[in-house]
Structure formats: C-alpha cells, structure tokens
Amino acid sequence: MKSSLEKGFGFGLTSGIITTLGLIVGLHSSTHLPIAVIGGIIIIAIADAFSDAMGMHVSEEFELKHSKKEVWESSIMTFFSKFVFALTFVIPFVLFELSTAIFVSIAWGLSLITGFSFYLAKREKIKPYKVVIEHLAISILVIIVAHYVGDLVRSIFGG
C-alpha cells in the first residue's frame, strides 16, 4: 500500500475507534439511551470523518513534502477508514441489549487496536507487546475518562 494511503488508513482507523469508543461510553453513562448512542455513532462517523480528513489534508499540505495526489489520497483514505470503522460500532447496538452492546463494542474496538498495533510493530520491526500495551493503555484511558465524564454530565444535567 502506498505511504499516503497507509497514513490515512492508520489515522482513520485509530481515530475512528478511539473517538467512537469514547463517545459510546460517554453517551451511555450520561443517557442510558440506545437511540442517543446509535445517533451519536452515526453523527460522529460523518462529522468527525470529514473533520479528520480535512485535518489530514491541511497537515499534509503544510508539510510541503507531498504531491497534490498524495495529499488527496491521505485525506480520502482518512475519511473512508474513519467513517467505516466508526459505523461498525452500530452493529452491536442493533443486535444486543444496551449493556451487552457496550461491552461488545469495547471488546471490538480494543481487538482492532490490538491487531493494528501488532501489525504496525511488526512493520516497524519493534517489539509488538510495547506498541500494543501503549495503544491499549491510551484507548482504555479514553474509555475510563469518557465514562466518568458521562456520569458527571448526568449528575449535573440529568437529575
């Protein structure tokens, strides 16, 4: 895969998973409403995918090292991978009860992060466990913080 496509794919995948997991856990703990979680996933799949693609586009242009084609390849791949990976998180909420869907989503997201981290480490010829632990730790931190922020929002605004 071309470097510009790999960059967009990796960014979109990790951002899509971590952002969506944070959103899911935060919305669940603040609302306990499946429709809010599903709506949030779909909205973030669209809005944040465009936002990240634009951010990638500007970042790549700013470096002054890439052709116009490479800039657009990274941007489009960022959008596509973020959009697709974020939308996969709707599936557990269609198939399972809310509490089960939350756990399935977390397991799905952490599995994807683990697999991609392992691939990245092997590609870079570094010890996979270090990369996997680092990326899982960041992902789990986001999940924990989002849960407690959701609780806080519910206690302040939800009654």
pLDDT tens for each residue of 3-36: 889 989 999 999 999 999 999 999 999 999 999 9
Residue 127 scores a pLDDT above 70 = yes
Q: What is the pLDDT of residue 1?
A: 67
12: left (phi over 0), alpha (psi -120 to 50) or beta: alpha
The pLDDT mean for the chain works out to 95
Does 49 map to a domain? yes
pLDDT range class, residue 63, cuts 50, 70, 90: confident
pLDDT value, residue 64: 85
Determine, yes or no, domain membership for 132: no
- Kindly state whether residue 135 falls inside one of the protein's structural domains: no
Q: Which amino acid is at 120?
A: L
pLDDT at 159 over 70: no
Number of domains observed in the structure of the chain: 1
Structural domain containing residue 103: 3-113+143-158
pLDDT for 4 equals 83
Is position 43 within any domain?
Answer: yes
Task: Judge whether 61 lies within some domain.
Answer: yes
Token output for 74 = 């990274």
In a domain, 149, yes or no: yes
The one-letter amino acid code at 12 reads G
Stretch 50-62: mean pLDDT, rounded? 93
| pTM for this model (two decimals) | 0.93
Residue 120 maps to a domain: no
- 11 located within any domain: yes
Query: DSSP of the chain, one letter per residue?
Result: --HHHHHHHHHHHHHHHHHHHHHHHHHHHHH--HHHHHHHHHHHHHHHHHHHHHHHHHHHHHHT-S-HHHHHHHHHHHHHHHHHHHHTTHHHHHHS-HHHHHHHHHHHHHHHHHHHHHHHHHHHTS-HHHHHHHHHHHHHHHHHHHHHHHHHHIIIII-
